[in-house]
Amino acid sequence: MNLSEIRKNLHQIPELGFEEFKTQKFILSILKQFPQLKIHTFPFTGIVAEYSVGKGDYKLIRADMDALPIEEETDCDFRSQHPGKMHACGHDVHMTILLGLIEKVIQADLQQNILFVFQPAEEGKGGAKKMLETGFFDSFSISEAFALHVSGSLPLGTISSKAGIFFANTEEVDVIFKGKSAHVAFPETGKDALKAGIDFLRIVEENLQKNFTIPDTIRCVFGKMEAGTVRNAIPADCKLEGTIRAFFDDDLRKIKEILEFSGKEIAEKNGVQTKIKYLSYYKAVKNEKTLYQKLKSVCRKLNLKFEEAEAVFTGEDFGYFSEKYPGLLFWLGANQGEKQDLHSSSFLPDEKAIPIGVDVFFKLIKSE
């Protein structure tokens, strides 16, 4: 297979979570070339390619499929053909690596049971959780689960990971205040929802500072605030949209407690109503120590540079797999000489990272 062309084709058809119809069709067209695989599909866009060679445990390797609602601003000749959508997180590379791995496993006639998982909707819509909730994987004895993520900040071919908690628990949250509108000339007849929102932000920050060492242990950030309709009226509604992140489950629960009692206190103080809604949730990614050690050994054998990673507040729903099975996620360096951020409109991982990712995965699933 021409992995470079496959990556370019995938890059041109980015689709959002659970809308990866063209992507699914393209991947299936490639998988059907391999009679050694048993292909499983779902009522949504996920795919599992089963490679069974007899009795024994299975190893699971996962690649995410979805893109982001971003207008691409790269100058490559294989830019997105879908306006307002882009593979700005490298999932096109992830899928290409998994397809390359499938080909290598089959060519080597590897005597190891494997599940190759193409997972939709990693970007906030719970694709991993939905795949696991189907019960499909419960009929397999899965001993190890692997995933990688390209990095625009690491040099090409550098591998980085850590044992234990690697990516944080992350959850999106909306806080809504409802008051009563009034003309600014008669504010006493209204209930100011915007003021409640501002007071809420202040008291939440004070309570977080009392309970946590910030920014080392948690994140609680509200990046968007909407209120009111005109400049000369007291706002009846205020909505804050934010994200909460923590490495440990107890800390995440504590943040939620702070949001709840802060919201109640501010609502009573301002005479308004409040509602807190929790949205998409990523389970923390925890790397099995033995698999982490195996990764370091593989890097030595392949003469690849390995860097000890730090735990990050990034969200990754591979955490649902690493919660259920011994798991390992690692960074694969793919910058092209200039550091690039994930989710950037100019993010374009170097395709030379693709065969490196294939080789690392192959060694991981081959070694005992």
The C-alpha atoms of residue 254 and residue 78 are separated, in whole angstroms, by 46
DSSP track, 260-312: HHHHHHHHHHHT-EEEEEEEEEEPPEEE-HHHHHHHHHHHHHTT--EEEPPPB
**Tens of pLDDT along 223-276?**
999 999 999 999 999 999 999 999 999 999 999 999 999 999 999 999 999 999
Dist. CA 337–CA 333, nearest whole Å: 11
Residue 368 has what pLDDT? 65
Which CATH architecture group holds 170-281?
Answer: 2-Layer Sandwich (3.30)
Going from N- to C-terminal start, the domains of the chain cover 3-168+284-366, 170-281
- Burial state string for 310-328 with b = 16 or more CB within 10 A and e = fewer than 16: eebbebbbbbbbbebbbbb
Superfamily of domain 3-168+284-366: Zn peptidases (3.40.630.10)
Q: What's the predicted TM-score (pTM) here?
A: 0.93
**Tokens 């960074």, residue?**
331
Tell me the catalytic residues.
64, 123
What is the pLDDT tens value at each position of the chain, 368 positions in all? Answer: 999 999 999 999 999 999 999 999 999 999 999 999 999 999 999 999 999 999 999 999 999 999 999 999 999 999 999 999 999 999 999 999 999 999 999 999 999 999 999 999 999 889 999 999 999 999 999 999 999 999 999 999 999 999 999 999 999 999 999 999 999 999 999 999 999 999 999 999 999 999 997 678 899 999 999 999 999 999 999 999 999 999 999 999 999 999 999 999 999 999 999 999 999 999 999 999 999 999 999 999 999 999 999 999 999 999 999 999 999 999 999 997 777 888 999 999 999 999 999 999 999 999 76
- CB-CB contact of 10 with 115 (8 Å): no
Distance CA 209, CA 284 (A): 23
Q: CB within 8 A of 368, min separation 6: which ones?
A: none
Look up residue 129 and give its two tokens: 């959780």
Q: Which amino acid is at 115?
A: L
